Amino acid sequence: MLDIPSRVRVHVETLLAAQNDMGVCDAFEQYAPVGKPDTMTAPHPSKVAGIDSAVPSPAQTVAPACATTGTAALTTGPGALLQDRLAGWVSDLTTLHELTERLVRTDNLPDALQELLRAGAALVGARRGLVVLEPADGLGPRRTVGLGLAQADLGHLETVPRGSLPYGELLDTPAGLPGGVAEIVRADLLAEDGLDPRHREVAARLGYAASYTLPLSSKAAGRLGAAMWLYDEPAEPVERMRHLVGLYARYATEHLARLLEVERTRACLRTMSEELLPSRLPRVSGVQLTARHRTGPRGGGDWYDALPLPDAALGLAVGSVTGSGPSAVAAMGRLRASLRAYAVMEGEDPVAVLSDLELLLRLTEPARCATALFAYCEPALRKITLAGAGHCPPLLIGERRTEFVETSVSAPLGMLACWEAPSVEVQAEEGETVLLYTDGLLQRTGEPVDRAFARLHAAAVAVPKAVRRDPEALIDHVLRAVLPDGLDTADSDEDVVLMAALFE
């Protein structure tokens, strides 16, 4: 029996089967010993043939047969060789486990693609690379992401005929054909006969002389794209590194497929939400209108509307339906369409409009409630009559005053057996803007409601005088001031709606 320490006493054939057939993390968790024993940590070799020394490499060196005589045979016997191999396998599994753990922590496609490029570059010893996302089902999204390559460099690569690039050859190969291309290695690109002249020119311009390309495909996900890593000098990864990066790419493909499905769902919800909102705001004499809408990844029920009414009047509405996802988006569309009908029939009485809307909501969707605000505007008189149902008060912004419009306290629609609240009249001055918004603007700040209102008021007060008569610039200033550092575009469960009406 071989004298093998208990830490590495693992059945060799079983470990090989696990490494080749199981998932990387599963194999590591089942067969790797607890902890990282010092006796199994292999030194990092110097870079050879493009292999990056930053990647742990097992000591799998086998002495020549002529050297295994006498004393040397005792030090390089079967037990020592087996320990070397086991140490190498455990080192490889440890590396892949760490890389896949970093990949699984990414929750969006751009971050996952960058992590894929960084991990692959470390495994194959490259410095630069790019991944082309091009799902075979044709539903998109299609994008190209580079590592160590500027946007201009990617543009240069796009001028090369697609068929002469390795990733083009992989992506243009029909998926599922027997004997399909598994990888493309070009160890000395510039020395190849028949290389496309444009490809040779771009390679010389970008300074790469070799490439290694893998498809991103699996049986479950299909073909999603291809990843290509570039070497500054002629080189290629050894067989061990190809095996490691192949295992990693297989796992990465499954992760990318999940993120791709999430992104497609989000894009579908955004499209639905945008289609249910006004494609453009009406042009009405005496008032300038503009709006901003930011929806969360799951889609929300916030909406806004502006519609011309009889007698040169204008109806403005904002509202929010409880919940998120497709059901909330659909409910928002139904509620907005109903409000438009009620506004045309009795828009001069905002209380009646909201009362009818509340009755409809209570009868058709009793499990849902909503907040809403409707304003009947007479631009010629700069007069506004409004009513709100549990909604945030409008903000009046002018050169001499910046204040919230005092509205009566009222319940959201669908919460009481019979909703009713008095209307409020506001007289705007020339050059003043009425800002309507949903509570998502306040909730995205992450602050208590009173502080969020104070932040909004301070942002409105700080609007530069030069842009106070420009509703586009004014609304953008308020949005950036209330939600700085990208909070307005970050993923959030809260929708944000702002609509500004500047009275001339």
pLDDT tens profile 251-295:
999 999 999 998 888 888 777 777 788 888 999 999 999 999 988
- What span, in angstroms and rounded, lies between the C-alpha atoms of 454 and 445? 11
Q: Give 114-145 pLDDT, tens digit per residue.
A: 999 999 999 999 999 999 999 988 888 999 99
Backbone angles phi, psi at 400, to 5 degrees: -105, -10
Q: How many CB atoms lie within 10 A of CB 332?
A: 25
Q: Coil, strand, or helix at residue 326?
A: helix
Q: Is the dihedral of CA 236, 240, 243, 247 positive or negative?
A: negative
Please give, one letter per residue, the 3-state secondary structure of 270-291. Answer: HHHHHHHCCCCCCCECCEEEEE
Nearest to 499 by CA among 436, 438, 407: 436
Residue with tokens 């990843």: 227
Give the residues of the chain that fall short of pLDDT 50: 1-74, 176-179
Q: Is 179 left (phi over 0), alpha (psi -120 to 50) or beta?
A: left
ω into 141 cis (within 30 of 0) = yes
- Helix (H) or strand (E) holding 5, with range, is none
Q: Where are the beta strands (DSSP E) in 31-93?
A: none
In this predicted structure, what is the pLDDT of residue 19?
42
Q: What domains does the chain contain, in order, with CATH numbers?
A: 6-102 (no CATH), 108-269 (3.30.450.40), 278-503 (3.60.40.10)
In this predicted structure, what is the pLDDT of residue 119?
96
- What span, in angstroms and rounded, lies between the C-alpha atoms of 362 and 373? 17
Q: How many CB atoms lie within 10 A of CB 383?
A: 15
What are the CA-CA distances from residue 463 to residues 203, 301, 397, 402, 472 (Å)?
51, 29, 9, 10, 12
Which amino acid makes up residue 238? V
Q: Coil, strand, or helix at residue 176?
A: coil
pTM summary value: 0.63
Nearest to 392 by CA among 465, 321, 449, 460: 449
Nearest to 96 by CA among 237, 254, 247, 253: 247
Nearest to 217 by CA among 169, 165, 256: 256
CA angle 312, 370, 487 (to 5 degrees): 90
- What span, in angstroms and rounded, lies between the C-alpha atoms of 455 and 302? 21
Q: Where are the beta strands (DSSP E) in 108-159?
A: 128-133, 143-147
In this predicted structure, what is the pLDDT of residue 161?
93
Q: How many CB atoms lie within 10 A of CB 409?
A: 7
Q: How many CB atoms lie within 10 A of CB 238?
A: 14
In this predicted structure, what is the pLDDT of residue 174?
66
Residue 305 near residue 340 (C-beta atoms within 8 A): yes
Residue 2 near residue 79 (C-beta atoms within 8 A): yes
Pull the structure tokens for residue 99: 């890389």
Pull the structure tokens for residue 37: 């024993």
Pull the structure tokens for residue 38: 């010092």
Q: Is the dihedral of CA 119, 124, 127, 129 positive or negative?
A: negative
In this predicted structure, what is the pLDDT of residue 278?
85
Nearest to 453 by CA among 477, 475, 482: 482
Q: Which one-letter DSSP state was computed for residue 195? A: -
Q: How far is it between the farthest Cα atoms of the chain? A: 109
